[in-house]
Every structure is written in C-alpha cells, then in structure tokens.
Structure 1
C-alpha cells in the first residue's frame, strides 16, 4: 500500500484507491478507464470523493455501489450520481427503500460495551434520498473487477452486502467487519446473531485481501485476520 501525494488517498492494490475520511472511507476500483465507486462517504465530503474519481486520468465513473444505507456510506451518493452524469446506483434490494427515503432504517441494538463507543461518535447529517437503479441480491454478479460477486451480509443492517472480486481475491466487507488495530465484528448491529453468521461466511471465503467500512485494509493476510475474528465467536 502507498499513500498518494496531495490527497488522503491510499493505493491499496493496483486498481484500488481508498479515500480515508474522518468517518469511514470511500473506495474507487479501476478497470482501465471504467471506474466503480464503492460507498460515497457522508454529507460534506462530496468534493473529496469527486476528486478521488477525477484523480484517474481519463477515467469515467460507471456506477456507485452502496454497501448499506447508513449515512457515512450513502451521504454523498445522490450528489455524486448527479455530478457524474446520472450514473447508476447499486444497492441490496432490502436497503433500496431506505436509501430512496421511502422507509426508515432500523436502529442498532447496542451491546453494553458499544454504548460509550456510540456516545463518542459525532452525529452525521442524514443522507439525502438517492435513487437506486439496480437492486441486487446474494449471488448476483456486477460487471467490474472481473465479476464482482454480491454477498448478502445481514446483521449490521438487514440488507448489508459485501463484494468479492475473485481475480484480485479482494473482499469489500462494508460494516460486516472492521479492522481497527485488529480485525473484528462490526459494531452497532441491528441483529448481532445474524452479523456473527455473516462474519463467519466472509471469513470462510479465505480472501487474501480485504477492505473495510472502517479501518485499515489487509493486503495478503486478510484470511488470517478474518478467521481470527470469526473464531472469537466459535
């Protein structure tokens, strides 16, 4: 991994750039000139995410994929989709009504240890409603990265998704896992039991590389980190 000059951007792998944000991250995958944005960051960081997209010479944004509805992942989506010519927005079919503003997402059920963590996190502006053009389900394949397989990863939210790119053996976990000093189950889940089951599933892939909604990427040793996190739950 290397940090690119002039932006808070990390080149995680050839073709993958990570924009580090005060809360979370946005990821840009490049298939030559065709670009895919995975998560859009919170409201107020649209210009930084747009600059990430525009940092690829000759690149054209083809789609925005949202791992789940939370505002730190979807806040900039509506603005960015419009800014880049109405590119399609992709999300799990269970998240789509919330992202569109048609329904209210379920709040997390906090564990006792999560309460002080949640209290320390500043509230973010709500995400403006954003259209969802492509609703996906577990097992669907998206046309980037050599065929990005959609993995339903419920528990953090009902329609959380992960993505596995088999060519680079790269896993986007969304908030199903985090890597904050160590790899761990994501926090603030709506259903902890389902979240643990999703973590077990992701760990079972044995992916070499992983990027997270929150935390440092794992390059080459992701399988070890995710299996250790999964093993903590039996």
Structure 2
C-alpha cells in the first residue's frame, strides 16, 4: 500500500481494514494502531520507507481493543521492543485478562459487520494475539517524547476505553473509530458498545476544532476538519 503523508512527521499506511499511522518522534517513531493480525510486515516495510528501523519504534498506541487495531500489536512488539500504550478501560481486553464486550448493532450495522467478518475469514486473517499493556492512559494524560504536546482523550462509546490523541501544536486529531469519513463527510463509526455515549464523544471531538483528522477508516481530512466534524449528524448515522 502507498503511504499517505499527512504532515512532515505523520504518515498513514492505508490497509484494507483499519489504517495504521506512523509518527516520527525526536528519537524514533510511534505507531498508532497496528492493523489486523498479519499486518506487521506491511507496517515494517512502511517504516522503512520513511527512514525507520524496527528498533526505532518507541511506542505503539492502541486506540481500542478491536482486532483491526490491536491485531498485529504482539508481532510488532516482538519485532521492535516498543512499549504498548492504551486506554485504561480497554487494557484488560487487549491483554486478554477480561472478556471483550460485544457491540450493540443497529439494523443497518449488522449486515455490514457480517460482511466484514466474512471478508476477513475469506482472506485467512488470523485471530489477534493479546499483548500486555505497558502504560494505561487516562483522560487528560499527555504523551512523553513526541516533540510536541500530545493530549489523550478518553472517548468511550465505541469501546469502554477508546482513546483519541490530539497533537495540539499542529492541531492534528487521531479519533480512533469514533469518526470515519466518506466522500469528504465525517460520520459516526459503526459497531459501538454504547451508541449514545459514542455520539457524545463524537461531539466532544468536534468541539476541538481540529485542522487535520486521521481516521482509521476512510480518507484523512487534511485541512478544515473542524467544520466537517461540526456539520456531521452522528445521530442519524447507521440507523
């Protein structure tokens, strides 16, 4: 897959299900999410394209526990030695110490979910492996070593412990699966454990007025993302 350069220090690796973002740090790199299981070779190849080596990866930040986000985390930890960071409430699901909560589907979400799962099965995607979480993140935390302020936001609804990252100097937002894009519009991500909570979290992110938004599903919004988020109608999505 061809890399998309978001900023001078951020790249998106588009994958068939769940994009991965690479962020250059002052002393290495961070990964935001890891794709489905089996994606590690593609991620490491993308890292090589931007001038990094496996040992340069310092942090792997997981926005939530779903398999298209944590699926290759264990393989990438083995390859890089990086620390894993994730929302505190999702950490037990990522590490495998608690059963994962199921999404509550709307009528239009269920056939989409079945289609996605069938596609993964047909492609032979293996099950995600659990991985220990080294740092549990909470709302208002900041990440060290990124070269600019990075604010952690606890944005529950898609999963109990979903997080977003806001790079405040560049006003770049990584919303996790709360936000997807289609045809230049922002929409609520499907497959939420608590739809009303997810909508409230979506509105919280819109109020940040980001310039750029890096979604895991869909195309990035490289400028003027704030008005696009505020114009969205998440209450009407997937009903």
Relative to the length of structure 1, the TM-score reads 0.92
Give the number of aligned pairs: 226
Matched, 1:67 2:63: yes
Which residue of 150, 159, 164 maps to 1:157? 159
Matched, 1:176 2:171: no
Counterparts of residues 192-203 of structure 1 (less than 5 Å)? 192-203=195-206
Tell me, what secondary structure is at the counterpart of 1:120?
helix
Q: Which runs of 5+ in 2 are unaligned?
A: none
Matched, 1:119 2:122: no
Aligned residue number for residue 225 of structure 2: 222
Contact 2:199–2:235 under 8 Å retained in 1? no
The structure 1 segments of at least 4 consecutive aligned residues displaced by more than 3 Å after TM superposition are 230-233
1:125 deviates by: 3.3
Cα deviations across residues 17-70 of structure 1 (Å, max 9, x unaligned)?
100101010000112442110001111111001112222325611100000000
1:145 and 1:156, CA in 2 relative to 1: closer, same or farther beyond 3 A? farther
Which residue of 180, 186, 191 maps to 1:188? 191
Q: State the alpha-carbon separation in 2 of the partners of residues 52 and 103 from structure 1.
A: 32
1:223 and 1:104, CA in 2 relative to 1: closer, same or farther beyond 3 A? same
1:74 and 1:231, CA in 2 relative to 1: closer, same or farther beyond 3 A? closer
Contact 2:164–2:176 under 8 Å retained in 1? yes
Relative to the length of structure 2, the TM-score reads 0.90
Q: Which runs of 5+ in 1 are unaligned?
A: 1-6
Tell me, what secondary structure is at the counterpart of 2:58?
strand
1:230 deviates by: 4.8
Which residue of 62, 81, 88 maps to 2:83? 88
Aligned residue number for residue 3 of structure 1: none
Aligned residue number for residue 134 of structure 1: 135
Tell me, what secondary structure is at the counterpart of 1:106?
coil
Q: State the alpha-carbon separation in 2 of the partners of residues 126 and 93 from structure 1.
A: 23
Q: Select the structure that is richer in helix.
A: 2
Larger RCO: 1 or 2 (CA < 8 Å, sep 6+): 2
Contact 2:62–2:85 under 8 Å retained in 1? yes
Contact 1:200–1:230 under 8 Å retained in 2? no
Contact 1:203–1:230 under 8 Å retained in 2? no
1:47 and 1:231, CA in 2 relative to 1: closer, same or farther beyond 3 A? closer
Q: State the alpha-carbon separation in 2 of the partners of residues 120 and 58 from structure 1.
A: 35
Q: State the alpha-carbon separation in 2 of the partners of residues 229 and 88 from structure 1.
A: 35
